[in-house]
Structure 1
Amino acid sequence: MTPLYYAVSGIMLAWHNLFSLFLDPAGGWSWVLSIVGLTVVIRALLIPIFVKQIKSSRNMQLIQPKVKELQKKYGHDRERLAQETMKLYKETGTNPFASCLPLLLQMPIFFALFRLINHAANDEAKGFLSQTDVNQFSHGEIFGAPISATLTDSISGPDQDLAVVIVAVFLVISMTATTFFTQRQLMAKNMPKDAMSGPYAQQQKLLLYVLPVVFAVSGIAFPIGVMIYWTTSNLWTMGQQFYIIRNNPAPGTDAFKAKQERDRLKADKKGGVALAESEVDVEVEPETRRPAQRQQPKRQTREQRKKGGPGSSGTQNQGKNK
């Protein structure tokens, strides 16, 4: 964990030095925002992994009909079914474990931050944190609750702090709710209906209800600073997921139909604007630009032609005869 202590503490100190330019360095908000900054850096570094996760999840959804066909064909032979399924994954470039990668890669950072805060609460400096930083960090407060405090310590300890209880309970609920809605957003908007009954859907449903319970139970022992990190990470995931699902949804999903409708309305709007502009051009066309019409000769009666008046056809015929 020592390399992670240095990495986590180094990123936090860089953000803390930035926020100290306009906030109290010893105040809790400068350290809380440093934890938020740490979350932003970690999640930004994980964007390529997150994109792979979305692509893999989409492939898992699209190949569900083929997986069902394999189950019908090789349901009696589990070994052959596993071989054919893995072959299908390989041909389509699908990794069934890719959905867990961002969570797994964040866990070491999560535990490193957890240990750093615990050591700071015991006045122990780790990584790049100096003893002065540790004193500021351990005594920094947000809404009257120390960043290093936990809900269990506040309830079971001799000095019960109401501020710690309120802030910790709020963060436990926020962490649990954002975990649930992040997973539900992916299932409700970016999964085709024919994939909702497959094994992949069952796995997603299991994560939908198990992960929030795990974080709700374990969150009561997390320091406030750790819960701030995880809640911020969930909010980042929700926003990132919303952007990708809205702009590049999986075919056959509700999000895909919604995007088609938006594209159609956008195309109709552009077409209407172009038509209106062409109509304006026609209306402002001046009549003076039209070519002049030739004047037709006046019609003459038979008597006028016999008399051979000027410009008459009789005169013209006489000129021809001469």
Structure 2
Amino acid sequence: MDLFAFPPLASLLDLTTRALLALTSALEPLAGSAAAALAVVAVTLAVRLLLIPVGVSQARAEQTRARLAPRLRVLRERFGKNPERLQRETMQLYRDEGASPLAGCLPMLAQMPVVGLLYAVFLHPTVGGQANALLSHELFGVPLGRSLVGALSTGTVDAATLAVVGALVLVMVGVAELTRRRLRPAVDPAAPAWMAGMAGALQFTTAVVALFVPLAAALYLSVTTVWTLIQRIVLRRRYPLPE
């Protein structure tokens, strides 16, 4: 079932497509055939600028979690056999500190609608009863609506697709590794070792997602991961974790 067949979402999809086409037309004198890709980059940067306050909240939340780690460890030692009491005491501790354990998830949650819309725009051959003109645009010869996994499954993969998508995935993997090395969160000694390993592995999930989504969405993800790394490095200096 196509969720964008419902009238409100169909209208949103049509509006998003028209806005991207208008931005693409404005950028064509500058970028030529890569205008649509540049439009996606511009949208990404605009979204990230709007989310700077959310990024600041995330940095504060990370600092708070690191500061509260010893007290949270004490709560787990006292109430580990009573999960309901542990949850109540944990939430009360966060309330007393004016923080939320979910604050670190806000940037990802806030971007999900944008990624979903980009995915839908470059997945639908027709929008608003007309052919989707954005699908005719390319980046280095690769259609913005093509995904690597989709091309592999249909036998239409070529060297350009492998090169462009591969380059974006390598950027995301490199950023994930830099994030893992430079911005490693404070580790609770009482936490199981597998939790630390999972936290490190999660850094690379964006690169995996990029293999399945249209190139336009993969481009968005690569730009936003680079932005996130730079922003977190800057904010980590402003909100350092306790030693």
Q: Please indicate the TM-score interval, normalised by the length of the shorter structure.
A: 0.7 to 0.9
Whether contact under 8 Å (2:136, 2:143) holds in the other structure is yes
2:10 is the alignment partner of 1:19: no
CA distance in 2 between partners of 1:232 and 1:77 (Å): 44
2:60 is the alignment partner of 1:51: no
CA distance in 2 between partners of 1:126 and 1:42 (Å): 25
CA distance in 1 between partners of 2:136 and 2:117 (Å): 19
Q: Tell me the CA shift for residue 46 of structure 1.
A: 1.3
The secondary structure found in structure 2 opposite 1:114 is: helix
Whether contact under 8 Å (2:41, 2:223) holds in the other structure is yes
Q: Which runs of 5+ in 2 are unaligned?
A: 1-8
Structure-1 residue corresponding to 2:17: 9
Whether contact under 8 Å (2:171, 2:222) holds in the other structure is yes
CA distance in 1 between partners of 2:50 and 2:19 (Å): 13
CA distance in 2 between partners of 1:70 and 1:34 (Å): 49
- Map 1:52-131; keep pairs closer than 5 Å: 52-119=57-124, 122=125, 124-126=126-128, 131=131
Q: Tell me the CA shift for residue 238 of structure 1.
A: 0.8
Q: Which runs of 5+ in 1 are unaligned?
A: 253-322
Question: Could you say which structure has the larger radius of gyration?
Answer: 1
RMSD over aligned CA atoms reads: 2.8
Q: Tell me the CA shift for residue 201 of structure 1.
A: 9.6
Q: Tell me the CA shift for residue 242 of structure 1.
A: 1.1
Counterparts in 2 of 1:158 and 1:70: CA distance versus 1, 3 Å: closer
CA distance in 2 between partners of 1:199 and 1:44 (Å): 35
2:37 is the alignment partner of 1:35: no
- Structure number with the bigger relative contact order (C-alpha 8 A, sep ≥ 6) is 2
Counterparts in 2 of 1:235 and 1:201: CA distance versus 1, 3 Å: farther
Counterparts in 2 of 1:58 and 1:247: CA distance versus 1, 3 Å: closer
Q: Tell me the CA shift for residue 205 of structure 1.
A: 4.7
Percent identity reads: 27
TM-score, normalization by structure 2? 0.83
Count, aligned residues: 235
Whether contact under 8 Å (2:60, 2:239) holds in the other structure is no
1:181 to 165, 178, 189: 178
- Give CA-to-partner distance per residue, 1:264-317, whole Å, 9 cap, x none: xxxxxxxxxxxxxxxxxxxxxxxxxxxxxxxxxxxxxxxxxxxxxxxxxxxxxx
Runs of 4+ more than 4 Å apart: 198-205
Structure-2 residue corresponding to 1:259: none
Whether contact under 8 Å (1:182, 1:237) holds in the other structure is no
